[in-house]
A and B are shown apart, each in its own frame.
Chain A
Amino acid sequence: MAGVRFLLDGEVVDLPEVDPTATLLDHLRYKMRRTGTKEGCAEGDCGACTVLVGSLENESVAWRAVNSCIQFLPMVNGKALMTVESIKAGDGALCPLQETMAANGSSQCGFCTPGFVMSLHGRSIGAKGCDLPVADVIAGNLCRCTGYGPILDAGENTPLQERGEADLADSLKALTSKSGSGEWQGRLWFAPRSSDELAALLAEHPDARLIAGATDVGLWVTKGLRELGTVIFLGDVADLAQIEETDEALILGAGVRYADAHAAMARLHPDLGELVRRIGGLQVRNAGTVGGNIANGSPIGDGPPALIALGALLTLRSVDGRRTMPLEDYFLSYGKQDRRAGEFVESVHIPRPGADAVIHIAKLSRRFDSDISAVCGAFMLNVTDGAITSARVAFGGMAATPKRAATCEAALIGKPFDDATVTAAIEALKADFEPLSDVRGSSAYRAETAANLLRRLWLRHQGMAISVLEVEAFDG
Chain B
Amino acid sequence: MAERDPAWKALQKPSHPHDSARLHVSGEARYADDLGEPADMLHLAFGQSSEARARILSMDLGAVRAAPGVVAVFTAADIPGANDVSPVAGDDRLLADGEVICQGQSVFLVAATSQRAARVAARLGKIEYEVLPAAITIVDAQAAQALIEPAQRMARGDAAAAMDAAPRRLAGRFEMGGQDHFYLEGQVAVATPGEDGQVHVLSSTQHPSEVQHLIAHMLHLSSADVTVEVRRMGGAFGGKETQAALFAGAAALVAHRTGRPAKFRCDRDDDMVMTGKRHEFEVAYEVGFDEVGHLLALSLHLASRCGATVDLSPAINDRAMFHSDNCYFLPHVEVVSERLKTNTVSATAFRGFGGPQGMLAIERVVDDVAAHLGIDPLEVRVANLYGPGRETTPYEMVVADNVAPQIIARLRETSRYDERARAVAAFNAASPVLKKGIALTPVKFGISFTTTHLNQAGALVHVYADGSIQVNHGGTEMGQGLYVKVAQIVADVFAVPLSAVRITATRTDKVPNTSATAASSGADLNGMAAYNAAAAIRERLTEFLARTYGCGEDGVHFTPGGVLVGAETLTFGQVARKAHIGRISLSSTGYYATPGIDYDRSVFKGRPFYYFAYGASVSEVVIDTLTGEHKVLAVDILHDVGRSLNPVVDMGQIEGGFIQGQGWLTTEELVYDAKGRLLTHSPATYKIPTASDRPKHFTVTLWDGENVEPTINRSKAVGEPPFMLANSVFSALNRAVAATMPDNRAIPPLDAPATPERILKAIAGHRAGHRAEP
CB B550 to nearest CB in A, in angstroms, measures 46
How far is it, in angstroms, between the C-alpha of A281 and the C-alpha of B692 when the chains are bound?
12
Within 8 Å CB of A97, what residues of B?
Answer: 25
Given contacts A144-B237, A441-B757, contact A108 B682 (CB under 8 A): no
Whether the pair A48, B184 counts as a contact (CB closer than 8 A) is yes
Query: Would you call A152 and B234 a contact (CB within 8 A)?
Result: no
Q: A109-B232, A113-B25 are in contact. List 17 more A-B contacts (CB 8 A).
A: A36-B26, A108-B480, A108-B652, A109-B234, A139-B691, A142-B184, A147-B694, A151-B691, A225-B116, A362-B627, A367-B687, A368-B631, A369-B692, A465-B433, A465-B434, A473-B634, A473-B695
CB contact list, A147-190 vs B, under 8 A: 147-152
A142 CB contact (under 8 Å) in B628, B631, B683: B683
Can you spell out 17 A-B residue pairs with CB atoms less than 8 angstroms apart? Answer: A37-B27, A39-B186, A101-B24, A109-B232, A109-B478, A109-B479, A135-B694, A143-B691, A144-B184, A146-B659, A225-B120, A367-B667, A439-B671, A468-B624, A468-B629, A471-B436, A475-B697
Q: Does B590 contact A (CB under 8 A)?
A: no
Closest to B671 in A: A439
Could you tell me if B684 and A45 are in contact, using CB atoms closer than 8 angstroms? yes
Q: Does B756 have its Cβ within 8 Å of any Cβ on chain A?
A: yes
Chain A residues within an 8 Å CB radius of B697? 473, 475-476
The CA-CA distance from A323 to B687 in the complex, in Å, is: 40
| Chain A CB within 10 A, most for which of B626, B695, B696 | B626
Q: Is A105 an interface residue (CB 8 A)?
A: yes
Please tell me if the beta carbons of A94 and B420 are within 8 angstroms of each other in the complex.
Answer: no
Q: Are A43 and B684 in contact (CB under 8 A)?
A: yes
Q: Ordered nearest first, which 10 A-B pairs have the shortest CB separation?
A: A36-B27, A109-B479, A111-B234, A110-B24, A473-B634, A147-B659, A108-B479, A45-B683, A84-B27, A473-B633
On whether the beta carbons of A149 and B27 are closer than 8 Å, the reply is no
Q: Tell me if A459 counts as interface (CB < 8 A to partner B).
A: yes
How many residues on the B side are at the interface (Cβ–Cβ under 8 A)?
A: 99
B window 627-677: CB within 8 A of A: 627-631, 633-634, 648-649, 651-652, 655-660, 667, 669, 671
Residues 429-476 (chain A) with a chain B CB within 8 angstroms: 438-442, 445, 448-449, 452-453, 455-456, 459, 464-469, 471-476
Of all chain B residues, the one with the shortest Cβ separation from A368 is B692
Contacts of A145 in B (CB 8 A): 235, 479, 652, 656
**Which A residues are CB-close (under 8 A) to B659?**
146-148
Residue of B nearest to A472 (CB): B633
Q: Contacts of A370 on B, CB cut-off 8 Å?
A: 690
Determine how close the nearest CB of chain B comes to the CB of A130; give it in whole angstroms. 14
The B679-738 residues at the A interface (CB cut-off 8 A) are 679-680, 682-685, 687-698
- Asked if A249 is an interface residue, CB under 8 A from chain B, the answer is no
Asked if A35 and B30 sit within 8 Å, CB to CB, the answer is yes
Q: Which residues of B contact A459 (CB under 8 A)?
A: 433, 626
Q: Does B453 contact A (CB under 8 A)?
A: no
Complex Cα distance A147/B28, Å?
23
For residue A99, which residue of chain B has the nearest CB?
B25
The answer to the question of B595 belonging to the interface, with a C-beta cut-off of 8 Å to chain A, is no
Stretch at the interface among B33-41, B73-81, B462-470, B528-536: B33-41
Q: Which one of B481, B622, B633, B692 has the highest number of Cβ atoms from chain A below 10 Å of its Cβ?
A: B692
State in angstroms the CA–CA spacing of A144 and B235 once bound together: 7
Interface residues of B in 18-58 (CB under 8 A from A): 18, 20-31, 33-34, 36-37
**Which B residues lie within 8 Å of A474 (CB)?**
419-420, 423-424, 620, 634
Contact bitstring A366-381, B, C-beta under 8 A = 1, else 0: 1111111010000000
Where the two chains meet, the residues of B that have a C-beta atom closer than 8 Å to any C-beta of A are 17-18, 20-31, 33-34, 36-37, 116, 119-120, 123, 181-186, 232-237, 267-269, 416, 419-420, 423-424, 431-434, 436, 478-481, 620, 622-624, 626-631, 633-634, 648-649, 651-652, 655-660, 667, 669, 671, 679-680, 682-685, 687-698, 755-757, 760-761
Q: Is the CB of A468 within 8 A of B623?
A: yes
In the complex, whether A351 has a CB less than 8 A from a CB of chain B is no
A109 in contact with B235 (CB, 8 Å): yes
Q: Bin the interface of chain A by size.
A: 35 or more
Interface residues of A in 77-117 (CB under 8 A from B): 83-85, 88, 94, 97-98, 101-114, 117
CA A152 – CA B29 in complex, angstroms?
22
Complex Cα spacing A364 to B631, Å: 13
Task: Chain A residues near B419: list those with CB within 8 A.
Answer: 474
Given A35-B33, A139-B690, A144-B237: A223 touches B434 (CB 8 Å cut-off): no
Inter-chain contacts of B624 with A (CB < 8 A):
466-468
* Known A84-B26, A85-B27, A476-B696; contact A468-B120, beta-carbon cutoff 8 A: no
Residues in A with CB closer than 8 Å to B756 are: 364-366, 374, 445, 449
Query: Which of B434, B655, B671 has a CB less than 8 Å from the CB of A147?
Result: B655
Interchain CA distance A374-B267 in the complex, whole Å: 26
Q: Which residues of A contact B268 (CB under 8 A)?
A: 40-43
At the interface, yes or no: A136 with Cβ under 8 Å from chain B?
A: yes
Instruction: For A151, list chain B residues within 8 Å (CB).
Output: 691
Other-chain residue from B27, B28, B420, B656 in contact with A108 (beta carbon distance below 8 A)? B656
| A33 sits at the interface (CB 8 A) | yes
* Residue A350, interface by CB 8 Å: no
Q: Which residues on the A side are within 8 Å of B660 (C-beta)?
A: 144, 147
On whether the beta carbons of B27 and A138 are closer than 8 Å, the reply is no
Q: In the assembled complex, how far is the CB of residue A450 from the closest CB belonging to chain B, in whole angstroms?
A: 10
Find the B residue at minimum CB distance from A364.
B627
Minimal beta-carbon separation of B540 from chain A (angstroms): 36
Report yes or no: A108 in contact with B33, Cβ–Cβ below 8 A.
Answer: no
Nearest chain-A residue to B271 (Cβ)? A41
> Does B184 lie within 8 Å of A143, measured CB to CB?
yes
A468 partner residues in chain B, CB cutoff 8 A: 434, 622-624, 629-631
Q: In the complex, which of the residues A29, A94, A364 contacts B25, with contact meaning CB atoms closer than 8 Å?
A: A94
A127 interfacial contact with B, CB 8 Å: no
Return A273 CB to nearest CB of chain B, in Å.
Answer: 16
Complex CA gap A284/B480 in Å reads: 30
- Assess the A110–B29 pair: CB atoms within 8 A: yes
| Whole-angstrom distance between the Cβ of B393 and the nearest chain A Cβ | 30
Which of B630, B679, B691 is close to A138, meaning CB atoms less than 8 Å apart? B691
**Are B235 and A111 closer than 8 Å at their CB atoms?**
yes
Q: Which of A48, A109, A472, A474 has the most CB of B within 10 A?
A: A109
Q: Are A149 and B182 neighbours in the complex by a CB distance under 8 Å?
A: no
Q: How far does the alpha carbon of A362 sit from the alpha carbon of B420 in the complex, in Å? A: 30
Complex interface: chain A residues within 8 A of B267 (CB): 42, 223
Q: Is the CB of A94 within 8 A of B184?
A: no
Contact in complex: B694, A452 (CB < 8 Å): no
- Complex Cα gap A43–B479 (Å): 24
CB of A257 within 8 A of chain B?
no
Q: Known contacts A367-B689, A367-B693; is A43 also within 8 Å of B682 by CB?
A: yes
A46 in contact (CB, < 8 A): yes
B760 A109 Cβ-Cβ under 8 A: no
Q: Which chain A residues border B627 with CB–CB below 8 Å?
A: 362, 364, 449, 452-453, 456
